[in-house]
Chains A and B, each alone.
Chain A
Amino acid sequence: MKITFALNGRETTWEIEPVETLLEALRRHGLTGVKQGCDTASCGVCTVLLDGKPVPSCAVPAARVDGHAVLTVEGVPEKARAVGEALAAEGADQCGYCAPGLVMSLVAMEQEPGPPDEDKIASYLAGNLCRCSGYASQSRAIKKYLGGKP
């Protein structure tokens, strides 16, 4: 079937399988920034924004996004670079497999009302698991990233 949607701000029409997940469709079309991790909406490495909200693309049917807007890490290169630099400055970028999903959650978090205090960061990013870093260095990096923004 065909779907037409806004992918990273550009109207896009794809031929997809009716039961395919958004994750599968994105990767099949070369958007490799979105990763496969758990297959069960549990880890956050496949996070993309659907109409501005972070969702696990492994649990979203690709057909659902017809007529909607999808943003992936490929659509936010400047933010991704800034987050990546902040992570690297703390040594928090270990294998980096979780990083694009983390970037997308941060992009969404910045749109949320209220100041991003420590609790909010921890709860907003709770769905972004990381097996390498132990989180502490990520938290240091994220605080610096948020603090250092204009």
Chain B
Amino acid sequence: MAEQQYFKPRSVDEASALLGDHPGAVIIGGGAYVRLGSRKITTAVDLFDAGLDYVRAGADGLELGAMATFRMLETDSLVNGYADGVVSRSVERIVGVQMRNITTVGGTLYGRYGFSNLITALLALDAEVALHRAGRMPLERFFTTKPDPGDILTGVILPDLPWRAAWRDLTRTVNDYAVLNTAVAVREGQARVVVGARPGRGVRCAEAEAALLAGGEGAADKAGRAAAAELEFGDDVRASAAYRRELCGTLVARAAREVLS
């Protein structure tokens, strides 16, 4: 067995240097998933003390540090005040307070989890991510680029935009993973409809957004039908593709109705 090492850098720069010195090192964010994976970790770089556990108003918008926990997103007044609190709503029922005290923004985005509620919510708000090496980029682009295991996600920026937004998901028990989740957001001339846990990762649905922008009678239901028709769904232990498609129509229409009202 290789000698195992555990580092707790005090800054992002120090963390980055450690990653450079130890190829194959694994970043620990919340750590909730790192141990679940079956891979054997030889070098761990834990960002717990790296100063990234903030939520703050920045120059370009609301800044969520990579080590901001779900519990912080749930309780922070800035996050609750942003876009009708949709980010808070997306995480506030996940498992329990204990788990939400450890799971992080950075670990969730870097994990690119299909089931993720947070990813769905952030995508609907045109969030940007900040990476230590690669710099800033829209979250959508981050998901289409190949992850760089040596880079560090330092935070998320939510631009100062007057979104009206709503959250819907369906879970089997209150604190289960979503069978399907959706965030819908609108502002002057813009609409976002994102559906995740399909079980694939949250994606925008152009036709549904167009239906919302077109407005008029029954726009919300049209958006729901469009999303159900356009998106891809799959089977997993929680539900079948066919059910998810039905559910998508309902949940998107309900979220849309809320933001349009």
Residues of A within 8 A of B (CB): 1, 17-19, 21, 40-42, 44, 47, 50, 53-56, 59-61, 63-64, 66-67, 105, 108, 123-128
Q: A19-B44, A61-B6, A64-B8 are in contact. Are A55 and B35 (CB under 8 A)?
A: no
**B80-102, CB under 8 A of A: which get 1 and which 0?**
00000000000011011111011
Complex alpha-carbon distance, A1 and B6, angstroms: 9
CB distance from A18 to the nearest CB of B (A): 4
Residues of B within 8 A of A (CB): 4-6, 8, 28, 30-32, 35-36, 41, 44, 46, 48-49, 71, 92-93, 95-99, 101-102, 174-175
Q: A61-B31, A126-B93 are in contact. Are A67 and B99 (CB under 8 A)?
A: no
Query: For residue B41, which residues in chain A have a CB less than 8 angstroms away from its CB?
Result: 19
Q: Are A64 and B97 in contact (CB under 8 A)?
A: no
Query: For residue B44, which residues in chain A have a CB less than 8 angstroms away from its CB?
Result: 18-19, 61, 63
Q: Are B4 and A64 in contact (CB under 8 A)?
A: no
- A17 touches which of B4, B92, B99 (Cβ 8 Å): B4
Query: For residue A42, which residues in chain B have a CB less than 8 angstroms away from its CB?
Result: 95, 99
Query: For residue A56, which residues in chain B have a CB less than 8 angstroms away from its CB?
Result: 32, 98-99, 102
Q: Are A64 and B48 in contact (CB under 8 A)?
A: yes
* 30 A–B contacts from the bound complex (CB under 8 Å): A1-B6, A18-B4, A18-B6, A18-B44, A19-B4, A19-B41, A21-B35, A41-B95, A42-B99, A47-B98, A50-B101, A53-B101, A55-B102, A56-B99, A56-B102, A59-B35, A59-B99, A61-B31, A63-B44, A63-B46, A64-B8, A64-B28, A64-B46, A64-B48, A66-B8, A108-B97, A124-B97, A126-B95, A126-B97, A127-B95
